[in-house]
């Protein structure tokens, strides 16, 4: 028996590249017309209202200001002094001034600016990345909440996995700030945020219009156009992007992406509003992880594949409106959003284990409409003589989903495991108080309630239909001491939760066999709708050394049950309660105004609680992460750039720790030169050491042609790309 070679279904690389080049010319032409169609706007642009990703003592920070009627926190860089502002040691910000000097291979690596976070890929470029943080293999986003301008990216009850977090629609140059909060100690963060959360904020206006073109190894091409201009009483922001990437794979990804953003905003002295439209569309082929045994015996090379028809296509369209106002006594903010997303994903991880004739490829279609509302109102007041602020918040979200699990061959469906219509409604009010009691002590106290309704209508197994409701209160507490010698100490704790897939919550029979027991004879049990998480942290932040901001955090996180719906099988899989703890040390040093160094080290331990003969190691859980780099800018007449090193430590791949991954080490770098205010050239190099490491490793049973029907338990890996280069030229006008 041999693997049938099937021509990939995507358009050819040549035709796609030609389309990309034409699209790039269209973007450039549109920018030129927008720039010169009206009055020049450079002289009269209104500055953005200062971004406030961390709002604390608006009237209470005595050391920073004598005027207590209002304080605006300008926290857009890791170099900013957050002593007296941040609520924990693991809270921070990264701005465009840092992002633009980092070599980035894909948009999800924006989140690697969160200390300890790893973004990787085990499939085609259009698929959501795999993430790791604080001892977790977060899969595609399960326990880390990501938002863009306050709109959640994670998708509940997704066909491929709970919390699906596809960030491929992000445009790195449009990011103004990445504000992150690790841990479950923040009242504004609910589902998916047990390890933390990040809010990625786009600019409202840009200082110049920009056209940028990038070309690189493996047929990588990118065209970008972005800018802003005055329009009426406000500002119009626009950006368009096209990307093509084949990758080093034997069967190229032929990844093609089209992406656009349009925003109109108005800002006044005490209020403002904006409306934003986004559109994204992509298609790709993929080389999923391959068995190590096939590479060792010469059947495959490192960049080969078993099923050349894996891949998919996706779409995302959104419309968001935001309004805010502030006065000496209060401030308010309202966000309303609606989005449509669609994914068709085809994967084959076990090859010929279940179906020796047609193969094990499966499809995971997912289509959804998501709407939501987020509103906050903050009162500035006093408790006795202490300055205080109290925030009332309300978050409402509704997901109407149609998804399924199908059996396919070369993307052609030949059977249906399950098809579901899912309706999830979530209502979450919360209350939070921040008080500065004196010049060395402040507190944050909060509580939120999350109420859920899960409704499932299964078209081929009515026994799995049903409606479940659930609710959970989650208190939060933060105590901050100092500053002394520009140093603060933090104690944080909180309860959180993780929602499970609506299908798993209602599953009573196996969707394939219709039996109430699984293949091992065990009773199929419904998953708990909400699983409780418990977190705590002790930390410190200091800026005592001039130019250095350093944070240290020792953290702990328990989960009652890691019950998850397994999208690849269509059933529920229960895992045991778990415990994770670790230490994080983050440093950002600016000895001069043209040079910075950063070094983030994270070490953690992850185990299942209890004793099980299978072992207590949690497969895929990351232990050690080190990220460090140096950056220079505006030196020797206009040079900028620097190297970056990322160490992704070994991981247990099976509960008894008998199979482990090796470490992954990547050294990358950027160098560029700004000739004048208009023209800039930059080069990026990735995997400079040309290491043959894995981006991701798994351990499971699969079957290749001519192997025994039982298959072979083996390590499966997706290699990092070999050394590669990209060259960009940009024009600002």
For residues 234-255, average pLDDT: 97
In angstroms, the CA 646 to CA 669 distance is 11
pLDDT bucket at 67, cuts 50 / 70 / 90: very low
Predicted local confidence at residue 568, as pLDDT: 59
In angstroms, the CA 559 to CA 612 distance is 17
* Residue 8, domain member (yes or no): no
Looking at per-residue pLDDT, the higher value among 82 and 432 belongs to 432
* Residue 618, domain member (yes or no): yes
How large is the C-alpha radius of gyration of the chain?
Answer: 25
pLDDT of residue 56 exceeding 50: no
Predicted local confidence at residue 4, as pLDDT: 32
Sheet containing strand 290-291, strands side by side: 290-291, 712-719, 694-702
For residues 55-59, average pLDDT: 39
* CATH number of the domain that residue 18 is part of: 2.40.170.20
Containing H/E element for 508?
none
Considering its fold, how many domains does the chain have in total?
A: 1
Q: Considering only 12-26, 184-198, 433-447, which range has the smallest mean pLDDT?
A: 12-26
Looking at per-residue pLDDT, the higher value among 317 and 16 belongs to 317
In angstroms, the CA 363 to CA 348 distance is 9
DSSP string, 327-341: -SSEEEEEEEEEEEE
Taking only the tens place, the pLDDT of each residue in 448-483 is: 999 999 999 988 778 889 999 999 999 999 999 999
Which of 669, 554, 620 lies closest to 118, judged by CA?
620
CA atoms within a 13 Å half-sphere pointing along the CA-CB vector of 400: 6
Predicted local confidence at residue 26, as pLDDT: 38
Helix (H, G, I), strand (E, B) or coil at 20: helix
pLDDT bucket at 504, cuts 50 / 70 / 90: confident
Q: Is 43 left (phi over 0), alpha (psi -120 to 50) or beta?
A: alpha
Asked whether the beta carbons of 407 and 362 are under 8 A apart, the reply is yes
In angstroms, the CA 196 to CA 114 distance is 10
Which of 264, 291, 289, 282 lies closest to 204, judged by CA?
264
* Residue 492, domain member (yes or no): yes
CA distances from 240 to 106, 171, 621 (A): 16, 9, 37
Looking at per-residue pLDDT, the higher value among 21 and 147 belongs to 147
pLDDT bucket at 201, cuts 50 / 70 / 90: very high
For residues 539-552, average pLDDT: 95
* Residue 604, domain member (yes or no): yes
For residues 67-88, average pLDDT: 62
Asked whether the beta carbons of 348 and 361 are under 8 A apart, the reply is yes
Q: Which residues have C-beta within 8 Å of that of residue 131, sequence separation ≥ 6?
A: 108, 111, 117, 118, 119, 120, 138, 139, 140, 141, 144, 165
Predicted local confidence at residue 73, as pLDDT: 42
Helix (H, G, I), strand (E, B) or coil at 18: helix
Q: Is 135 left (phi over 0), alpha (psi -120 to 50) or beta?
A: left
Taking only the tens place, the pLDDT of each residue in 406-451 is: 999 999 999 999 999 999 999 999 999 999 999 999 999 999 999 9
Predicted local confidence at residue 49, as pLDDT: 36
Arithmetic mean of pLDDT over the chain: 88
pLDDT of residue 46 exceeding 60: no
Range of the domain at 123: 13-732
pLDDT more than 90, % of the chain: 79
Direct distance between the N- and C-terminal alpha carbons of the chain, in angstroms, rounded to an integer: 60
């Amino acid at each position: 028996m041999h693997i049938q070679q099937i021509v990939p279904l995507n358009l050819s690389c040549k035709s796609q590249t030609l389309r990309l080049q034409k699209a790039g010319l269209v973007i450039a032409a549109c920018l030129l017309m927008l720039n010169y169609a009206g009055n020049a706007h450079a002289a009269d642009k209104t500055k953005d209202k200062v971004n406030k990703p961390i709002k604390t003592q608006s009237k209470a920070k005595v050391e920073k200001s004598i005027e207590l009627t209002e304080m605006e926190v300008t926290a857009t860089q890791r170099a900013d002094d957050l002593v007296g502002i941040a609520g924990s040691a693991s809270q921070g910000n990264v701005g465009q001034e840092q992002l633009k000097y980092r070599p980035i291979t894909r948009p999800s690596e924006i989140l690697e600016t969160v200390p300890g976070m790893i973004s990787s890929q085990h499939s085609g470029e259009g698929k959501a990345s795999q993430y790791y943080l604080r001892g977790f293999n977060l899969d595609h986003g399960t326990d880390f909440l990501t938002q863009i301008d306050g709109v959640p990216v994670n998708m509940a009850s997704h066909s491929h996995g709970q919390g699906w977090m596809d960030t491929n629609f992000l445009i790195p140059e449009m990011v103004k700030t990445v504000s992150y909060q690790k841990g479950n100690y923040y009242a504004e963060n609910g589902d998916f945020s047990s390890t933390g959360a990040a809010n990625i904020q786009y600019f409202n206006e840009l200082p110049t219009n920009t056209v940028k073109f990038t070309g690189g190894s493996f047929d990588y091409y990118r065209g970008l156009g972005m800018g802003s201009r005055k329009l009426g009483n406000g500002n119009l922001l626009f950006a368009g992007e096209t990307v093509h990437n084949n990758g080093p794979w034997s069967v190229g990804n032929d990844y093609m992406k089209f992406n656009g953003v349009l925003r109109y905003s108005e800002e006044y002295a005490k209020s403002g509003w904006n409306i934003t439209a986004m559109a994204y569309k992509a298609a790709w082929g993929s080389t999923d992880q391959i068995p190590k045994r096939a590479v060792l015996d010469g059947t495959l090379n490192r960049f080969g594949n078993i099923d050349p028809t894996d891949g998919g296509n996706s779409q995302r369209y959104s419309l968001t409106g935001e309004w805010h106002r502030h006065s000496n006594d209060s401030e308010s903010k309202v966000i309303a959003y609606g989005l449509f997303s669609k994914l068709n994903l085809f994967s084959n991880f076990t090859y010929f284990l279940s179906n020796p004739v047609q193969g094990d490829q499966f499809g995971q279609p997912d289509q959804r409409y998501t709407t939501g509302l987020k509103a906050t109102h903050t009162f500035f007041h006093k408790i006795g003589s202490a300055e205080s602020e109290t925030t009332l918040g309300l978050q409402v979200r509704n997901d109407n989903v149609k998804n399924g699990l199908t059996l396919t061959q070369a993307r052609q469906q030949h059977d249906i495991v399950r098809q579901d219509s899912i309706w999830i409604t979530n209502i979450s009010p919360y209350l939070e108080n921040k008080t500065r009691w004196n010049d060395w002590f402040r507190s944050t106290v909060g509580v939120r309630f999350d109420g859920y309704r899960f409704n499932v209508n299964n078209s081929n197994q009515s026994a799995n239909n049903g409606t479940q409701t659930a609710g959970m209160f989650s208190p939060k507490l933060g105590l901050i001491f100092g500053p002394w010698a520009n140093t603060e100490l933090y104690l944080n704790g909180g309860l959180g939760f993780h929602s499970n897939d609506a299908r798993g919550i209602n599953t009573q029979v196996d969707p394939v066999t219709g039996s109430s027991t699984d293949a091992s004879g065990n009773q199929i049990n419904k998953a708990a709708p909400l699983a409780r998480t418990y977190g705590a942290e002790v930390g410190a932040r200091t800026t005592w050394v001039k130019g250095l901001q350093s944070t240290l955090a020792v953290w702990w996180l328990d989960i009652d049950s890691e019950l998850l719906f397994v999208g690849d099988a269509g059933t529920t899989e229960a895992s045991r309660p778990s415990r994770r703890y670790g230490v994080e040390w983050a440093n950002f040093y600016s000895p001069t105004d043209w040079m910075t160094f950063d070094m983030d080290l994270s070490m953690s331990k992850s185990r299942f609680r209890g004793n099980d003969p299978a072992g207590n190691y949690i497969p895929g859980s990351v232990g050690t992460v080190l990220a460090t780099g140096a950056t220079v800018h505006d030196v020797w007449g206009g040079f900028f750039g620097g190297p970056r090193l990322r160490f992704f430590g070994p991981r247990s791949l099976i509960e008894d720790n008998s199979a482990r991954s090796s470490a992954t080490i990547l050294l990358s770098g950027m160098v560029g030169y700004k000739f004048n205010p208009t023209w800039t050239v930059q080069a990026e190099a990735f995997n400079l050491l040309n290491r043959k490491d894995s981006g991701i490793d798994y351990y499971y049973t699969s079957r290749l042609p001519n192997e025994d029907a039982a298959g072979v338990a083996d390590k499966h890996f997706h290699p990092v790309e070999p050394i590669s280069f990209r060259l960009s030229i940009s024009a600002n006008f």
